[in-house]
Amino acid sequence: MKLATIEKIASYTVGIAVEKNTGAGTGTFITDGVDRYVLTAAHNIQDVDIKGVRFWLSPNKGIIEKAAQDTTTKEVGRLTVGVSLPIVETRIDPKRDIAVLRIDNSFVLPEGPEVYHLGRSFEFSHWPEEQLDGISTLMFGFPVANSRPLHTVGNNTFCFLGAANMLSRYSIRINADKFKGLSNSVSPDTDFLLEYTGEDIDPHGFSGCGVWIPTDTQGRRVWTSDPVLIGVSNQYFRRSNLISATKLPAIVTITPPDGDKNGTD
C-alpha cells in the first residue's frame, strides 16, 4: 500500500534542474481546473532564467526500490539532463516561498506523469489542524545525496540522481512549540513543521516537493491510492531536525481552485 501511494505521488512529481543542472529541486504538476502548473518553492526558481530550467518527469514504469548508488545502468535506462517545458507564466510569492509555473495549454504530457487537481485538497484550505494531529505524511523528491557519480570532466562530476521518500507524522505539539528559535522566514500562520526522518540522507533537493496525506479512493472494492496534497516543503533546520512546509491555504492564494485568477502574483 505504501509503494502504491509513493508511485501515485511520483506520477505528480517533477524534478527541477537549474543553472545547467548544478542545482536541483522538486515540484508537483497541479491544475486549478483550467490551467496546469508546476508548483514548487519560490527559492528554487527565483532569479533563474526559466528558459534554461530542465525538468525530470515520471517515467511510465514502476519504481525501483534501491539506493541510487546501488543501481545498474540497465536498471536506470537512458540517462537524461531533463526536458524543457513550455512555461508561459511564472507566479512567485517570495514571502510564503511558493511559486507556480504555468504550462502552455497545448503541451501534451507523455505517458507516466499525471496532474493533480488542487480542488481535491479543498477540505484543507482552512487548515483544520485538529484533524491532522498524528496523521501520516509523505514527501517524495530528489535529494542530491541519493545519487551515483558517473564520470568527471575537469572540475565537474556528472551524477545519476534518484528520487527518495520520507514518511513522517503531523504533530500539533511540534507545531505549537518548535517555531520558537527558528528563522523569521517561517511562521505558524503560513507554514507547518514535520520531523525530518530521512535516514542519513541530506534533504537538499527535497525543497519544493509536495507534502501528502496517504488516502484511498472511497467506494471502490479494490484499494486504490488517492493521496491528498496539503503543503510544499521549503526549508530544513538541521539543528532541530525539522522540515518546514507552506500550508495549503497559502498555495491556494497563488493558484486558486476552479480557475479563479484573483490570486497573488
Handedness of CA 248, 249, 253, 257 (dihedral sign): positive
User: How much is the pLDDT for 73?
Assistant: 77
Report pLDDT for 220. Answer: 58
pLDDT at 262 over 70: no
Q: What is the pTM of this model?
A: 0.89
- DSSP of 4-65: HHHHHHHHHEEEEEETTTTEEEEEEEEE-SS-EEEEE-HHHHTTS-GGG-EEEPPPSS----
pLDDT at 257: 47
User: Is residue 127 within 8 Å of residue 248, measured between CB atoms?
Assistant: yes
**256 has a pLDDT exceeding 60:** no
